[in-house]
Chains A and B, each alone.
Chain A
Amino acid sequence: AQSVTQPDIHITVSEGASLELRCNYSYGATPYLFWYVQSPGQGLQLLLKYFSGDTLVQGIKGFEAEFKRSQSSFNLRKPSVHWSDAAEYFCAFYNNNDMRFGAGTRLTVKP
């Protein structure tokens, strides 16, 4: 079955520390992959997307993600977290009119 999994429901990091949010997908082929961020009561903002080509994708706000086919993963990273990064992060994949979101990871940033 097609699915996308975010293993971490909640992560807490200190401001200035590095961040990695995990995302794994289950699908026969390589789907389109996305990371979105959502602040409380707000819509979703696209951070970055992977369709094909270079497996290291740069996004907005200093985020990047690396697609690893062998691990079926698309983890999101940021070298230094800012307090304003506290939000809910969703990994998603799309293929052939099927769009699925992971359950989300809530990021808390400690001062």
Chain B
Amino acid sequence: DTEVTQTPKHLVMGMTNKKSLKCEQHMGHRAMYWYKQKAKKPPELMFVYSYEKLSINESVPSRFSPECPNSSLLNLHLHALQPEDSALYLCASSQDPTAWGTFGSGTRLTVV
């Protein structure tokens, strides 16, 4: 298995909702990442997990809460989001925290 799987592919949520994005990989990679990508913009790094520990938080608002339950799973919990948080959320993994490797197809999030 050489893929990073993200679910759901699309998500529409209200500003008072709580939802979660899920990312899974079975390549034995020990680093996993969340990126946010606005339309026609490059991806922006949000969080880095290395060996299941949060190693980087790029000053992301607390309404985004990452979680790494095990080495194969990465979640992003969402609460009280704003319409400007609408974006493509990409997960990636790599063998080590050099931030390169395999990206998932993303979750297209719309906040209404």
Q: Do they bind each other?
A: yes
- A interface list, Cβ under 8 A from B: 32, 34, 36, 41-46, 49, 90, 92, 94, 97, 99, 101-104
Contact B90 A94, beta carbon cutoff 8 Å = no
Q: Could you list 12 further interchain pairs (A-B, Cβ under 8 angstroms) beyond the known A44-B43, A45-B103, A46-B102?
A: A41-B88, A41-B106, A43-B4, A43-B6, A43-B90, A44-B92, A46-B100, A46-B101, A90-B42, A97-B97, A101-B42, A103-B42
Give bound CA distance, A94 to B97, whole Å. Answer: 10
Nearest first, the 7 closest Cβ-Cβ pairs linking A and B are A101-B42, A99-B99, A43-B103, A44-B103, A43-B105, A94-B99, A43-B106
Contact B102 A42, beta carbon cutoff 8 Å = no
Task: Give residues 39-67 of B contacting A (CB, 8 Å).
Answer: 40-45, 48, 55-56
Give the dominant DSSP class at A's interface.
strand
Which residues on A sit within 8 Å (CB–CB) of B90?
43-44
A43-B106, A44-B90, A97-B48 as given contacts; A104 in contact with B42, CB under 8 Å: yes
Contact B100 A32, beta carbon cutoff 8 Å = yes
Which residues on A sit within 8 Å (CB–CB) of B48?
97
Which residues on B sit within 8 Å (CB–CB) of A90?
42-43
Q: Which of B40, B43, B55, B105 has a CB less than 8 Å from the CB of A101?
A: B43
- Categorize the interface residue count of chain B: 20 to 34
Q: How far is the CB of A40 from chain B (nearest CB, A)?
A: 10
CB-CB nearest in chain B for A34: B100
Which residues on A sit within 8 Å (CB–CB) of B97?
97
Give bound CA distance, A65 to B42, whole Å. Answer: 20
Contact B41 A103, beta carbon cutoff 8 Å = yes
Which residues on A sit within 8 Å (CB–CB) of B45?
99
A-contact bits for B83-112, CB 8 A (1 contact / 0 none): 000001010100001111111111010000
